Chain A
Amino acid sequence: DIQMTQSPSSLSASVGDRVTITCQASQDISNYLNWYQQKPGKAPKVLIYDASNLETGVPSRFSGSGSGTDFTFTISSLQPEDIATYYCQQYDNLPPVTFGQGTKLEIK
């Protein structure tokens, strides 16, 4: 199975900061990677699909990049409503789909 290593596991930043989360796959997954946001007590929501495509309706401060084994998720200017846990997810090989372990983002 393909393993996804996401870092950091937690992150504290100030409003307006640029925030970056990384995800590394255990093997080449091309661009078969999605990013999700999960707010406390809520279901996840897809933000970025195919590594760099912004889901309809998602603010442009969110972006993704990368291919192969190394991927990056960026919030260009952190807003209070961005407090959530973020997950990467690969789908190069189904089954199984695998998720990263998550990054909990807090406001400093």
Chain B
Amino acid sequence: EVQLLDSGGGLVQPGGSLRLSCAASGFTFSSYAMSWVRQAPGKGLEWVSTITDSGTSTYYADSVKGRFTISRDNSKNTLYLLMNSLRAEDTAVYYCARGRYCYGPWGQGTLVTVSS
């Protein structure tokens, strides 16, 4: 069974950092691009970042460019999102998802709350 398990969320102060992880199983992780999509409380979906299968190319939404870094470890079947200089508006559930243009499946999501 294809499975993605998000982790690493929590409460962080404005300006702080957090690293999210997404553990993949049930498929050949190194063959797929991976993405992060977030959803602020009560709001819609917002694409955050995508990394190609080999990790050689990365893409970011303007709202996180320069603050967030997507990476992957294909030997560990794990996707990461390093989030620096966090702002209140980054508060959201963060989902990892398999795919570059079409997302499926998705992790269960991990909540990031940025507040003092």
Could you list which residues of chain A lie within 8 angstroms of chain B, going by C-beta atoms? 32, 34, 36, 38, 43-46, 49-50, 55, 87, 89, 91, 94-102
Contacts and interface: CB of A to CB of B under 8 A. Distances in A.
B61 A95 contact: yes
Given A34-B102, A46-B102, 4 more contacts: A44-B45, A45-B104, A94-B59, A100-B44
A96 B100 CA distance: 11
Nearest to A46: B104
B46 A99 contact: yes
Interface residues of B, number: 22
Given A94-B50, A94-B59, A99 B44 contact: yes
Interface stretch (B7-15, B75-83, B84-92, B106-114): B106-114
Task: Please classify the interface of chain B as helix (H, G, I), strand (E, B), loop, or mixed, using the class held by over half of its residues.
Answer: loop
A49 B102 CA distance: 7
A44 B46 contact: no
B67 to A, nearest CB: 15
B27 interface: no
A94 B61 CA distance: 9
A43 B45 contact: no
A95 B60 contact: yes
29 contacts: A34-B102, A34-B103, A36-B45, A43-B106, A43-B107, A44-B37, A44-B95, A44-B103, A44-B106, A45-B104, A45-B105, A46-B103, A46-B104, A49-B102, A87-B44, A89-B45, A91-B100, A91-B102, A95-B50, A95-B60, A95-B61, A96-B47, A96-B61, A96-B62, A97-B35, A97-B50, A99-B45, A99-B47, A100-B44
